[in-house]
């Protein structure tokens, strides 16, 4: 089949525009949203390398009035639920455009296909780094972590807690069937996205992958952190429960993004588990090198002594899930954590 150069030029022109526009959108967030000069420069360099291929011959082939694609749209293009969704959509846009440029570029210039193959791989690397950086930043700013327990009105309870300032939600349900877990996890993920909170799955790496969660939380007897990271990819968060200094050191050495420290008090959510106590909280405050959350039986009655022992972050279960007014309880817990942070400034 004879190559129709005008049509190829139109395809290349449209996708060069698409790639440059998507990169500029990502670059603006790196520059103004993250204040990250290194990532902004990587975007700019990519954009400039793409622009070098956008010569006069390709621009001259443009026919906006005759382009049927200007009338095509999809409802998903009209909505961006949060900055993560916006960035993900534009990374997809850039990668798709570069794949088109790689293939059709082979018909236009002998070096164009290989050039855009390498550019596409660089965009994948940028995406991994940027999405990972964004989640780590949000983790660093997180104070209050909600771990769910099964209950009939869970979505309403979680939303009320999010309104009160919960930063992270972990979906935990050991007994539900997978179809039910999947449906609820999808709803919780969207809810967290709406409120700008991180969403994690307890134990189940497959479920986290299926719903696009921000990561997983693992126990000492669950899948090793290294294997979970291979499956999830480097851009996701992985936390691990620890009950003593030895487990803490192993989790940190295995590259956990954060750890749970507890149970501080005995709790029915961990039947038979001896409380680690406030001494372990004090140890974590002095020795932990990653973000950590005190967990286990913490509520409005004892959070002050947990904070006094050195906890700047806490994870709670029953005190929010079973609260009559989760919003007010979350606000109170958060206020106690803010108080200790202000005193440390």
pLDDT in tens, the chain (345 residues): 455 889 999 999 999 999 999 999 999 999 998 899 999 999 999 999 999 999 999 999 887 666 656 555 555 555 666 788 899 899 999 999 999 999 999 999 999 999 999 999 999 999 988 988 889 999 999 999 999 999 989 999 999 999 999 999 999 998 999 999 999 999 999 999 889 899 999 999 999 999 999 999 999 999 999 999 999 987 899 999 999 999 999 999 999 999 999 999 988 767 767 899 999 999 999 999 999 999 999 999 999 999 999 999 999 999 999 999 999 999 999 999 987 655 554
The token pair at 179 is: 């179809």
| Nearest C-alpha neighbor of 139 from the set 187, 94, 91, 196 | 196
pLDDT, position 78: 59
DSSP letter (8 states) at residue 167: -
The token pair at 226 is: 């290294």
246: Cα separation from own chain's centroid = 28
In sign, the C-alpha dihedral spanning 82, 85, 90, 93 is negative
| DSSP helix/strand/coil, 147 | strand
Q: Which of 243, 189, 229, 234 is nearest to 212 (CA)?
A: 189
162 vs 142: CA distance, rounded Å: 12
With tokens 């749970």, the residue in question is 260
Q: Exposed/middle/buried for 32, CB within 10 Å: 0-12, 13-18, 19+? A: exposed
Question: Cα 146–327–242 angle (5° rounding)?
Answer: 15
| pLDDT at 268 (0 to 100) | 76
- Max intra-chain CA distance, the chain: 78
Query: Which three-class secondary structure state does DSSP give residue 283?
Result: helix
pLDDT for res 248: 98
Q: CA of 84: how far to CAs of 130, 231, 244, in Å?
A: 10, 20, 35
Q: How many CB atoms lie within 10 A of CB 211?
A: 21
pLDDT of the residue at 340: 60
pTM for the predicted model, two decimal places: 0.79
> How confident is the model at residue 83, as a pLDDT?
82
pLDDT at site 345: 46
Q: What per-residue confidence (pLDDT) applies to 116?
A: 98
């Amino acid at each position: 089949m004879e190559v129709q150069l005008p049509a190829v030029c139109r395809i290349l022109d449209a996708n060069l525009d698409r790639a440059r526009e998507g990169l500029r959108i990502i670059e603006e967030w790196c520059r103004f949203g993250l204040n990250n000069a290194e990532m902004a420069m990587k975007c700019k360099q990519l954009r400039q390398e793409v622009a070098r291929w956008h010569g006069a011959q390709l621009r001259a082939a443009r026919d906006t009035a005759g382009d049927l694609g200007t009338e095509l749209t999809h409802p998903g293009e009209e909505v961006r639920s949060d900055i993560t969704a916006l960035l993900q959509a534009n990374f997809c846009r850039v990668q798709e455009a570069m794949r088109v440029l790689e293939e059709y570029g082979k018909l236009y210039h002998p070096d164009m296909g290989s050039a855009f193959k390498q550019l596409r791989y660089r965009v994948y690397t940028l995406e991994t780094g940027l999405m990972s950086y964004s989640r780590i930043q949000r983790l660093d700013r997180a104070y209050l972590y909600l771990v769910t327990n099964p209950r009939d009105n869970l979505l309403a309870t979680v939303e009320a807690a999010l309104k009160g300032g919960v930063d992270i939600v972990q979906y935990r349900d050991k007994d539900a069937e997978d179809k039910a877990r999947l449906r609820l996890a999808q709803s919780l993920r969207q809810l967290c996205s709406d409120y700008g909170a991180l969403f994690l799955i307890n134990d189940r790496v497959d479920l986290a992958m299926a719903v696009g969660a921000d990561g997983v939380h693992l126990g000492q007897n669950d899948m090793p952190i290294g294997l979970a990271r291979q499956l999830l990819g480097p851009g996701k968060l992985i936390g691990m429960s620890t009950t003593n200094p030895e487990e803490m050191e192993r989790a940190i050495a295995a590259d956990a993004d954060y750890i749970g420290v507890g149970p501080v008090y005995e709790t029915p959510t961990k039947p038979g588990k001896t409380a680690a106590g406030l001494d372990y909280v004090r140890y974590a405050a002095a020795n932990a090198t990653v973000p950590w959350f005190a967990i286990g039986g913490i509520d409005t009655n004892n959070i002050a002594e947990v904070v006094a022992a050195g906890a700047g972050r806490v994870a709670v279960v029953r005190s929010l899930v079973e609260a009559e007014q989760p919003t007010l309880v979350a606000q109170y817990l958060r206020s106690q954590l803010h108080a200790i942070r202000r005193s440390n400034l």
